[in-house]
Amino acid sequence: MENAPLDIDAELSRFAREEARKLGLEREQWVEPVRSNESFKASDRATTTMLVSGLTLAHDTLVCAALTGLGYRVEALDAPDNAALQFGKEFGNRGQCNPTYYTVGNLVKHLVHLRDEKGLATADIVNGYIFVTAGACGPCRFGMYVTEYRKALRDAGFDGFRVVLFQQQGGMKQATGDETGLVIDQKFVFGIVRALMAGDVLNLLAYRIRPYETVPGATDEALRECRETLSTAFRDDRSAVTALWRCRRRLARIEVDRTQPKPVVSVIGEFWAMTTEGDGNYQLQRFLEQEGAEVDVQGVTNWLLFMVWENRYDTLQRQTLKADDTGRKGLEGKDATKKLWMLEAAEAAVRAHFQLYAKAIGLHGYHLPDMESIAKLASKHYDNHVRGGEGHMEVGKLVHFIEDRVNHMTISVKPFGCMPSSGVSDGVQAAVTSRYPDAIFLPIETTGDGKVNVQSRIQMMLFRARQNARAELETVLAEKGLDEGSFRTKVSGSRRWKSAFARPRHRYAGVAANLAAAV
């Protein structure tokens, strides 16, 4: 027996089991159970709190208010931070992308806080809370988020916690019945879209004003009051337009000085990474402002228009193959004209409501992107049929920014492990920038622990953008026969251009250069 050969495989298996037991990881392979939103009943609404997270502070706050107005108990989670990332990595699967770890970990972190800090029993948390999230299919891990949530919740000790999913493009037929807790009907969709648009115009205007405020913190204080005003309107089902007018009066008290030449930096890329305001992108927007830039952010409304464009584009493509489109929802023997008309009406409604909100709050001169134009710009470099992430939209945006002199610099932010965005920003965009050698384009990857490296790269590129903004202003002043002193005197003596809402007509990338041309 002493000379018997050692069974290496058996020994390794035994060692692995012992180590897993020591680490508390000796669990069965996760298998996704068949779940249904029916686990959240209408009778549960009065005793169940819906947890919401994933967008900016303004969006999450207003979405919660809109859901409260529909009769739900709602609570917004904090912005995901690096502590959430650690929870996500501890309880999530290996090899996931950063948004998965941050968002999954953020939910687990909150529930652990309720259990360990607030003293709630695990059973009370499981029975008294649910998490509502969006889902989608396609070549992206976003389609697996709900599974990641449930797996992490089980491993963190919250097995059975309900994660309610609704599909981004599922329409209003995905949750029906009198007993369904989350009813996705016309009132629900309209309420959420209104809240998202209000959050958009509030954010967009804030990023216009804050870089030029003369009293530091004045914009943030006004924003806090505006969020409260809008939240009250959505909770009480009052007019959002009236609330936006009240916000306008509050924002009008902010004093600004737009004679300073600041580089305009557009942030694009993977949806969550470019939208979040926390550690997931190293507080990118605030860092850029601290470095003296004006940030051009992308609104959630752009994504709504993109989904409408996708539906229209796919329907037009399928019409040419109607004879072969024999699936349950296929177009064989059907006329898609009605659907196309409905999509046209949906786009028109989105644009009209957005412009109504924009005018009410004072967001002058802002134009939502023409998705057909963006698709055509991108088609030379990225096939419109390819899906995943933002598809061709990121490519089309960059070409638009360059050709129409929208900004001085573009940052494409993607999370570590994001497959669709990495292929675009690291591959296709290199071909785009080779055609425009003067363009300043910086792709960055976020991992949760590379803040110093990323911010150093941004600072180097921002130096060039700052020089371009300064040169742009000096060129305009020379053309107009002005020096900086007389320019500032003219602006300071103008009630119009001292307004927090003033936006000179777009001729150049920089606001100061456009203002010099206008005065």
pLDDT, one tens digit per residue, over 381-424 is 888 888 777 788 989 999 999 999 999 999 999 887 677 777 77
The band of 322, judged by pLDDT with boundaries at 50, 70 and 90, is low
d(C-alpha 154, C-alpha 150), whole Å: 6
Residue 166 has pLDDT above 90, yes or no: no
Rounded to an integer, the average pLDDT of 17-33 is 69
How much is the pTM? 0.87
Res 170: pLDDT: 47
Q: Report whether 371 contacts 225 (CB < 8 A).
A: no
* Top-confidence residue, 207 or 35: 207
Q: How long a stretch of residues is the chain? A: 519
Residue 474 has pLDDT above 90, yes or no: yes
Q: What one-character-per-residue DSSP string does 421-488 give? A: HHHIIIIIHHHHHHH-TT--EEEEEE-SS-HHHHHHHHHHHHHHHHHHHHHHHHHHHHHHT--HHHHH
Rounded to an integer, the average pLDDT of 339-348 is 92
pLDDT, one tens digit per residue, over 77-131 is 999 999 999 999 998 887 778 888 899 999 999 999 999 999 999 999 999 999 9
Residue 138 has pLDDT above 70, yes or no: no
Find the distance separating the first CA and the last CA of the chain, reported in whole Å.
Answer: 97
Q: How many helices (H) does the chain have, and how many strands (E)?
A: 20, 8
The band of 139, judged by pLDDT with boundaries at 50, 70 and 90, is low
Tokens encoding 270: 């993977």
Res 226: pLDDT: 97
Rounded to an integer, the average pLDDT of 132-146 is 66
> Picking from 155-169, 249-263, 470-484, which range would have the lowest pLDDT averaged per residue?
155-169
Give the pairing of strands 441-446 and 409-415.
parallel
The band of 3, judged by pLDDT with boundaries at 50, 70 and 90, is low
Mean pLDDT across the chain: 87
Q: Report whether 57 contacts 277 (CB < 8 A).
A: yes
Residue 438 CB partners (closer than 8 Å, separation 6+): none
